[in-house]
Structure 1
C-alpha cells in the first residue's frame, strides 16, 4: 500500500498534536478527516476559542468534525462515512469502542511518557515534578482501559535539571511527531510489531499514574523539601504554574504564581518553613530542609516579573508564605 492510499482520520486538540498533523500533511499522507473539540467561550468578551488543531485543519482545508458527544449517532455516522483505514489520536479525549474499533487497521495513540509509566492526563508535568531524569514518547494501539494498549514504539530523551515542563513538552512534541510518521510507515509496510505493557513491568512493579492537574495540586507546601519544591515549580512552569500566598505584615494574603526558582540552598538554622527573607534584590523562602530563591513570580492582578522588580514594590518585612 502507498501512503496516499491509506485513509487516516486524525484526533487532537492542542499544539502538541498539531506538529504531528503538520508532518503527516506535509509528508503527503492522506488525511481524510480531523476530529477536535468543539469551540468554547474564552475571555470576558465571550470570544469563541478554536483549538490549535482546528485552526491548522481549516488552514489546510481538511474536513473537520467537532462532536460534543463521541457516542452521538450523527457523529459516528459522519466518522464512518470517512472510511478511515487508520485513526491517530494525540492529546484528545478518551474514545468509546464504537469509535476506536472502527478502522480496519485500528487506532493508535501518541502518549508523552514511557508507558506504562505515567498513564493519565498530565504525564509531562508529573515526570518533571517527580524529578525524573528521563522521559519519552510511546505509540500504542487503543483498547478499553485508558493508556493500557499494546506498545508499538518508544523513544527516550533526558530531562535536564534546569528543564521546565514547557521545554520538555516541546522536545517531546517534535520527537513524537517523527515517531508518528515512523509508526504509520510500519503499519503501511506491514512490519509493525507490538508489546503488551505487562511485559514491560518487572515483578511487583505497578504502572505510574499521571492524574489531571488541579489548582490544589499546584499549591506549594513549604513543609516539603527544597528539592521536591524545586521540581514542583519547574514541573508546572509556565502553565498552570505553582502558586503560594505571600502574607504581608498586615496579614493580607497575596496569591502569587511562582514560575522559577534557583537551586536548593541551605537555610539559616532554626528558620521555619514559609519564612520569607530578602536582601533587597533576592527573595528566599524557607522549606523543610533548606530554602529556595524565587526568581520569577506573578502576584494576582499584576504582570509576571523578576524578583528584584517585585521587591521594589512590595514591603517584604515580616512577610511569610502559606
Structure 2
C-alpha cells in the first residue's frame, strides 16, 4: 500500500523506520514545524523529520491541519492509508481522505489509558501489563475501532523510558502486521468497550511533584513512571531535586515524618514514606547533570534527619 506517515517523537521514528523496510511504500511524511531549542534557540527538526530527510522522503510541516492547501497536498499523494504515531489530533477532512482509512498506533491496551501519556500512567498506577493497539481514527480521540492489540508485562522496576523503548519496537511490528492485513482485507475492526475505558491525561509539573505521604510502593511507581522525563521531583534545602531510580523497602520503625531521610549509604539514601520507605539511587540537582547518588554524595552533604519536601 501507498502510505502517508504522520508522527513527531522518537516513538514514531521507530515505526517509520520499520515501515521503510516493509512491503509498503511511504510516499510522504507529515510532522510538526521545526522548533527553537537550546540557548541559541536554533530551529531543530523533530526526530521523524530527521529520519525522513535522511531517507529522502517528501516532508510536510503544516502549522494548521485544516489548511486547505495542506489538505489538497495530501490528496495529491493518492495514498491508500494514512498512518499516525504520536502526532496531533487530525480533523475529519484529513483522516477521511484515504480509502483504507487512517491507522493510529496507541501505546496502551485500549480502551484503557486513552490520552497523551499512557506509558507514564500505566506505571504510576502500578499496572503489571500494558501493550499497544492499532485503531482506525474517528472523530473521538483514541476511541476508534480496534484493529490489532499486543500485550507486554511491566517489570516491577521498569521505568517509563524503558517501557517506551520496548513498546516502540513492538508497536512498529504490530503496525506493519496491521497494514499487511488491512491490505489483504483480512482484519475486522472491533468496537471498544466503553465500560473498560480509562484516561491517561497529559503529565503536568504539578503531577511530577513527589508526595512522600503515600505508601512506599506508590512513591516508587510515581518515580519510575516519570523517569527519565519529565521526572519526579521534590525540594531539598531549597534546591529542586529530580529523582530517577528508586526501590521500595519495608521500614516502619522510624518515628519521623514522611519525606525524612532516615539513612545514607554509599550508593543511595532512604526516605520515609507514609508506610515503608524508598531507597533512592539516581538524582539530579537543579542546574546540574543527572548523576548516581554515589556521585551526588561526593559533592553534597546529605544527612539522616534532613527533609525532602
TM-score range, shorter chain: over 0.9
Worse-superposed segment, 99-108 or 74-83: 74-83
1:60-89 CA distances to partner (integer Å, 9 max, x unpaired)? Answer: 111110001100111111111112110010
Aligned mates of 2:54, 2:295 — CA distance in 1: 41
Please state if 1:193 is matched with 2:215: no
Matched with 2:89 is 94
Please state if 1:269 is matched with 2:254: yes
Matched with 1:246 is 236
Aligned mates of 1:315, 1:289 — CA distance in 2: 26
1:203-248 CA distances to partner (integer Å, 9 max, x unpaired)? Answer: xx3411000011111110111111101000011111111111012x
Runs of 4+ in 1 over 3 A off after TM superposition: none
Q: How many residues align?
A: 307
Gaps of 5+ in 2: none
Q: How does 1:1-322 map to 2 (within 5 A)?
A: 6-198=1-193, 205-247=195-237, 253-281=238-266, 282-317=268-303, 318-322=305-309
The answer to whether the Cα contact below 8 Å between 2:27 and 2:79 also exists between their aligned partners in 1 is yes
TM-score (normalised: structure 2): 0.96
Aligned mates of 1:257, 1:63 — CA distance in 2: 40
1:167-214 CA distances to partner (integer Å, 9 max, x unpaired)? Answer: 11111111111111111111111112111002xx5xxx3411000011
- Displacement of 1:32 in angstroms is 1.2
Aligned mates of 1:27, 1:312 — CA distance in 2: 50
TM-score (normalised: structure 1): 0.92
Q: What is the root-mean-square deviation of aligned Cα atoms in Å?
A: 1.3
Gaps of 5+ in 1: 1-5, 248-252
1:147-185 CA distances to partner (integer Å, 9 max, x unpaired)? Answer: 000000100100011211111111111111111111111
